[in-house]
Structure 1
Amino acid sequence: MTRLKTAKGRTASSTRWLERQLNDPYVKRAKVDGYRSRAAYKLLELDEKFGLLRGVQAVVDLGITPGGWSQVVRRKAPRAAVAGIDLLPTEPIDGVTILQMDFMDDAAPAMLREALGGVEPDLIMSDMAANTVGHAQTDHLRTMGLVETGLEFAVEMLKPGGTFIAKVLAGGADHGLVAELKRHFKTVKHAKPPASRKGSSEWYVIAQGFKGRGDQG
């Protein structure tokens, strides 16, 4: 195991983070495989379990930065149109249209639809998490708010039969959100892919079979 000496100006917590990165097999694999982040393997593992990328034609990546998930889509579904959106700048990815703006901006859905060639996406994916403050309940509420907003966006954008996947925290989506997801999708499941660190509180909610905007019951 690689250990670092605590350098001047580096806190103990940042030293622990660097050690974890240096010893993380997924970080090493990402470098070898050419992925921008270890998060790519979370999507690969979720795809293996749920068939998320099978036959997809148009994909929206909410909170695309740094781009690992869109890289996976490009490799697994090279014919799919892919559009990503993020407040932060993102290095270009071949075959992906990237918008630097808030996905909650009123203009975002139309701009993303245009980026996809005018078609409705059949997969909307979000690896976003709200900035944490270290207070578990507050962090949970903020992340759930982000998921709820992502769901509203998905309901507005998705093609009937489509899929919405989003990061949630330990315990998964709360009862109200699960009920709302079930109103719009045929199946709603939670999963923690092996690439999620054991100590991490993150899970993913996978909602498949979008019922369409006129068929929620």
Structure 2
Amino acid sequence: MGAARHVQVNLGRLLWSMFWLVLGFVTALSVVPTESHDGVSRNEKGLIVAVAHDPFRIQSTLHWASYFHSDSTIRSQVEFNGSRPTGRLRTWDQNGWLVLESEITDNGQRVDRCYNDGHLLSISTTDHDSRTSCTMYAPDGSVTHRFHKNVDGLDGEFVRYYDDACIAAKGRFDNGKRVGVWEFFNDAGQPVSEQSLPEHIRLSIPGASSQLVPGRADGDPDGA
């Protein structure tokens, strides 16, 4: 279950970080006063919760940061060009650990790096058409998953690895559903049935179930 939880923690952390990002954008727009291009917002205790700074005294470039309300430790930083975020977005948890790094590349792709207590969890690259390629990592830095997804879910090649980087399973998804022939291997690299995989490996593969139907590689009794 550890690997499955690893996937859930990563996705949950990313969604939570993006929530704060959207909330922060609204805050950033609200803290820039009309009479000045530098804005500081404080809570009722006088602690800084957001700063919007325009070094060139024009609204086209804006450096923005938000802070936790309880102690003004930094929560996120980003730079805007007009109304669009540019450069690198960073968010931290209240213990000071980096949670998310996101940047827009020269060709327009968005690259997201998610972390947990200083350990890299995943690197995701999203294209213009919202198609994402993702690599996930264990705390020791070894690769656990490689997959592709679109707005409808997993889509394309999916690979699950053992801790020693040997392939445990590989196959394809089509809009969130497992399709085609899937291959499964033991830790010695020998082909096996999906039922023979270690439980924590099997349950970390989307579409697996605790009780697989004999003779069905995808574990879906309805064939949906």
TM-score, normalised on structure 2? 0.27
The structure in which a higher percent of residues are strand is 2
Larger radius of gyration: 2
The structure in which a higher percent of residues are helix is 1
TM-score, normalised on structure 1? 0.28
